[in-house]
Each structure stands twice: as structure tokens, then as C-alpha cells.
Structure 1
Amino acid sequence: MFFIKEIFKSIQGEGFFSGKSAVFVRFTGCNLWNGLVKDRENALCQFCDTDFLGTNGQNGGYYSLNDLLNKIDKIWNQKKLTNNKFIVLTGGEPMLQVNKKLVESLKKRGYFVSVETNGTIQFDIDFDWVCVSPKQRTKWKVISGDELKVIFPQQAFDLNMLKKLNFKYFFLQPMDNNKKQINIWNTINYCKSHKPWFPSFQLHKSLNIS
């Protein structure tokens, strides 16, 4: 059984696939924060901007494997998206629930399967694309993949060391807080002079796309 906050179609607003049509499956729960505002100060991740509590989002609920696959197909086909079937498994922390059977089943149905993870849970699953977004107060275990996306700034991270990890692409994403504009310009300026870092902006927020 999968506990799902929401399933929706949109564009990928961040990182390498920014602008690409996708179906997003947001899994309930995270191992770095319980999602309650009153507990944020003591959480391992203190800047999350996502509601991953409960199952009350769009198409949220409790799903068996087959029911989840069929719901994803229905949403993809309803929206008349391209034949390039792209799915993003996200959260919360999706690796609390995602398993090999789900990923294999999605691939059999023709999906390119991407996962967005905080990297603290090791896995042996053949994703098509792995995006790791580490948090500075955590011990992360997934130190290789396709895309490393670091929310910037996080003072404890040595970006010169991180760029030596086994990832294909490296992104810095401005932290969305009360210093957002300063963070944006600091991100741009850092990336200008520090290869291989590229800026990643939350395109969906800028365009007010859910």
C-alpha cells in the first residue's frame, strides 16, 4: 500500500529537466521533518517548502500497486501529454515508500522514471534518473547519481568537495526564504565563477504553475 499526498501533471520546474511535461507522484512523509510547523525549528531540514502531510491533495489517497499505476496512466492520458512518458517520484522523501516493483512496473508501461531524494536512504533500484538534494545536518548515503541539487546557501557544505562526487550535473537552487532575492543573486554570481555548478530556479513558482 502506498500513501500518496497528491498526483498531478505539470512541468518540471527545477534542475536538468526544467520545462519538461511530467506527472508528479508526491509520497506522504519525510524522515527529516514531520511536516508540522511547530516542530520545524528542531527538524533536520528546516527550509522545506512542500506540504507532504496526509493524503488530502489532488488525487491523494491510499493506493495498491495496480491502482497507483492505473491512476498515473489515467492522468497522463487525460492530459494528452506527449508520448515521452516522464514521471517524477517526489515527497517528502519518496524512498520511504518507493520499491523496486513500482519502478519496474512503471518502466514496463513506458515511463522514464525520475526520483527526487534527500539521499539519506540507500537503495538498489534502477531509476532512469536520480536527483539528490542533500541537507547539511544529515548523513547522506546516496553519493552518486545523475543530478546533485543543493539548496543554497547551506553553510556546512563545502561546494568544492561536493563537485568531486560522482554526479553528471550539479545545480545550486536559491533558498526560498525571506532573503530569496539575495539568495538568487548570490547563486547566480557563484555559478558564474565556479564550474560545474549551474543555477536552478523554481520555474513553476515564477510562472505560478502548480
Structure 2
Amino acid sequence: MKTYSAKEIFYTLQGEGANAGRAAVFCRFSGCNLWSGLEKDRASAVCQFCDTDFVGVDGLGGGKFKSAEAMAEAIDGYWPQTSSGTKLVVCTGGEPLLQLDKNLIECLHEKGFEIAVETNGTIKAPEGIDWLCVSPKANSEIVQTSGHELKLVFPQEENTPEDFLDFKFDHFFLQPKDDLNQAHNIQATIDYIHRHPQWRLSLQTHKITGIR
């Protein structure tokens, strides 16, 4: 029987993209196919600007789950049981599609969750995902070229917005890169969207508000 590993599971508000501000349970899967998560490997990684700890299973709510049913039960435990709102789980990472599969999707749907996924697009998404967000990383092969939302960290020298205009997404977002040049990146993103209004601005509101 397949097991699942999560770095952390917690209840918060979605901070980015089209679902920003919506209450959600975040399930951060352990592991990624573009970086080991270890600082000693960052310089040689395909994705070098990740700001997320996805190594191990020692975060809040993290652990190894022996079945899809067990993981769905754990995720459901973080949703307020008195709430009448539509349940939302955001499957992220690392790279969630290394682990998220048909069985877990079915178990989460049985618990009443809408399933949102944030992926780097290098793995074909299984059927049944309710909201698919692809965030391409430079120097990686994108095989998932359709979905609900494409969210591109900007700027990336090797990845320009023009590279993705033929992809089939409902929404196209640019998200300023969070590094030492963040103020410059925000202004550059705004300037680019002014010139190319098919794109929308995505800010990391969870960092602005100080929530997880």
C-alpha cells in the first residue's frame, strides 16, 4: 500500500493567485524533483530561488501516512467542523504531484474538499483536480501546459512571459520574485503588466499580512 509524506499540514488563507484570501487547509508534501531542499545543493539545482522548507516530515501536522484514507482524515481534521463553507485543500510542496494520486484525490473528494494543486508543471497532473496552478521554473521541461492558473515568478532570465502565451490556462499571473531586489521586482512586474494587460499581478499576501 502506498504511503504519503507531508512536511506540514495547517489551516490558513490562500495567499496567492486567483484564490487569494480563501480559507484553506495547506498540505505541503515532502520532496521535489527540481531541488533537494538542502542549501548545499541550491547552486546546482534546477530551481534555485525556492523559499520553502519541504524537507522531512517534522513540520506542524507533518508525518508519514500509511494510506490515502489516513492522509485525507488528517487533512479533514484541520478544517473547522462547524463551518458551512466549501472545504478547500491546497496541495503544494516541494512538488505535490510526486505523491498526489487518484486514490488520494478520491479520498479528499469523499471528505467534501475541493482540491487545488500548485505544481512546477514537470509532471502530468492526474484527473480529478479542481484547481490546477502551474508555476514554471527555468530550465525545466513543462509537460502540463493547461490548467486553471499559470503563475510565473518574475523576473526569470531563462523564463519570459512570452514563452507561455500559447499555453491553455484561464488565468495568467506574474508574481514578483521574493529576493533582495524585491522592491525592484515588484515595480518591474507592475510595469510589465501595464504593457501586457493579459497578465495579472499576484502578491504573496500571506507574507504581507504575516499569516502562514
- Normalised by the size of structure 2, how large is the TM-score? 0.95
- Structure-to-structure mapping, 1:14-53, within 5 angstroms: 14-53=16-55
Q: Which amino acid aligns with 1:76?
A: W
Q: Displacement of 1:195 after TM fit? A: 2.4
The match for 1:207 is 209
- Residue 146 of structure 1: SS of its match in structure 2? strand
Paired with 2:7 and 2:84, the residues of 1 have a C-alpha distance of 25
- Runs of 5+ consecutive residues of structure 1 not aligned to the other structure: none
- AA aligned opposite 1:45: C
Contact 1:21 1:81 in 2 (8 A): no
Partner of 1:75: 78
Aligned 8 A contact 2:121 2:134 in 1 = yes
Is contact 1:163–1:196 with CA below 8 Å preserved after alignment? no
Aligned to 2:87: 85
Aligned length: 209
From 105, 110, 113, the counterpart of 1:111: 113
List structure 1 runs of 4+ shifted beyond 6 angstroms: none
Secondary structure of residue in 2 paired with 1:10: strand
Q: 1:136 and 2:138 equivalent?
A: yes
Distance in structure 1 (CA, Å) of the matches to 2:198 and 2:34: 28
Q: State the one-letter code of the partner of 2:153.
A: I
Please give the secondary structure, in 2, of the residue aligned with 1:76.
coil
- Give the residue type in structure 1 aligned to 2:174: L
Alignment-derived partner of residue 194 in structure 2: 192
Q: Structure 2, unaligned stretches of length 5 or more?
A: none
TM-score, L = length of structure 1: 0.96
- RMSD over aligned Cα, in angstroms? 1.2
Tell me which amino acid in the other structure corresponds to 2:15: G
Would the aligned equivalents of 2:101 and 2:126 in 1 still touch at CA under 8 Å? Answer: no
Question: Deviation per CA, 1:149-179, whole angstroms, max 9, x where unpaired?
Answer: 0000012223224122100000000001110
Equivalent position SS for 1:77 = coil
Report if the CA contact (8 A) 2:152-2:161 is conserved: no
